[in-house]
Amino acid sequence: MSEPGKPRGRSFPLSLDKLTPVARSVATRPSAAAPALTPARPTAPERKPNLLRPQRLLQQAALDRERQVRPAGLGLDSELVRARMVERLRAQGIRDEKVLAAMLAVPRHLFVDTALANQAYEDTALPIGLQQTISKPSVVARMLELMRGNRGDAMLQRVLEIGTGCGYQAAVLAHLARLVVSVERLKALHDKARELLAPWRADNVRLVYGDGMLGHPPNAPYDGIVAAAGGEAIQQAWLDQLAVGGRLVAPVVRGSTQVLVLVERNDRGFVRSEHEAVHFVPLKSGTT
Ligand code: SAH
């Protein structure tokens, strides 16, 4: 669903915005949906009127799907519930409008089990299987705000996420960066995230099965790195793969708890600061 006039290859970060209502509606019919989501690059005169029709059909499909999967208590339109979540994030002190907009756009309830979906917009971590959790919205917002720094409306170029989990934060990051590389060490979760993200045609998200403690050198350097699992220390590989001007945010174990650590790289080296206490699942080495 590219904007008319924009070549699709470079369009993605807007596609999550544009696809929000479509969400999982296309999951059951990817091949049928694909042409409508990816209109062939038309010549200029053809673009205007006829691109709108398939979008309307998809929106209807999305509404139908939303009705099917809407869990009890989520209300008529999950976007309204999400808007309330965003207002709470604002009230909690999140100031980065671009992060708030990204979180408004991504339907978190589609990333958790249907049985948990009515809790999806509460500020709580939820289980996603294999003893892992989807991070709570306020922590996702805070980490992404810290990682972006004062960039205003600008997109980051390349971002590395350690710990894809179910793919929720990767979907949020897709609104904030031109390329998101997300590494997961548990094959089952990597596959699950791939499945959950597939309907979005999130072609600026690259999911990697591997040990994120090593980062992901092929796409380095990154101007943002965010870890969703708490380690004993910031990994040297992450520092090596952080671009000059880049910012890294990771939970680091501090006694019996963890703190959010921000590392900013400038042309003279690294500046480290510590922020609030958090509680993430542990960072582990190797793959399973
Ligand atoms: N980003 C997720 C949170 C996932 S929980 C969200 O949107 O909510 C943290 C994830 O980090 C788990 O899935 C866990 O398996 C993964 N993880 C832990 N150590 C890792 C490592 N070394 N490399 C990659 N992933 C890791």
Cis peptide before 39 (omega within 30 of 0): no
AA letter at 189: L
Q: Which two tokens stand for residue 62?
A: 């999305």
pLDDT of res. 74: 54
- Which residues are registered as beta bridge partners of 285? none
- 132 located within any domain: yes
CA distance 286 to 288: 7
CA distance 228 to 159: 13
Using a 6 Å cutoff on CB, does residue 133 contact ligand 1?
A: yes
CA distance 161 to 140: 12
Residues in contact with 94: Cβ distance below 8 Å, sequence separation at least 6, in sequence order: 100, 138, 141, 142, 145
Q: Atom 13, ligand 1: which residue's CA is nearest? A: 165
- 20 located within any domain: no
Domain that holds residue 207: 79-278
Q: Structurally, how many domains does the chain consist of?
A: 1
Q: Atom 11, ligand 1: which residue's CA is nearest? A: 163
CA distance 223 to 248: 8
- 186 located within any domain: yes
If residue 196 lies in a helix (H) or strand (E), which one and from where to where? helix 187-197
Helices and strands in the chain: count of H runs, count of E runs: 10, 9
- 31 located within any domain: no
Per-residue pLDDT of the chain (288 residues; tens, 9 = 90+): 333 333 333 333 434 433 343 333 333 333 333 322 232 333 344 444 444 444 444 444 445 455 444 444 454 478 999 999 999 999 999 999 999 999 999 999 999 999 999 999 999 999 999 999 999 999 999 999 999 999 999 999 999 999 999 999 999 999 999 999 999 999 999 999 999 999 987 899 999 999 999 999 999 999 999 999 999 999 999 999 999 999 999 999 999 999 999 999 999 999 999 999 999 999 999 999
Q: Which two tokens stand for residue 188?
A: 């089952």
- 104 located within any domain: yes
Site to substitute for ligand 1 among 139, 162, 211, 225, most atoms within 8 A of C-beta: 162
- 215 located within any domain: yes
The yes-or-no answer on residue 138 being catalytic is no
- Which residues are registered as beta bridge partners of 207? 182
How many residues does this entry show for the chain? 288
Using a 6 Å cutoff on CB, does residue 211 contact ligand 1?
A: yes
**Residue bearing tokens 């006039």:** 5
Neighbours of 88 (CB within 10 A): 16
- 62 located within any domain: no
Neighbours of 130 (CB within 10 A): 13
- 21 located within any domain: no
Using a 6 Å cutoff on CB, does residue 235 contact ligand 1?
A: no
The CATH number of whichever domain residue 272 belongs to comes to 3.40.50.150
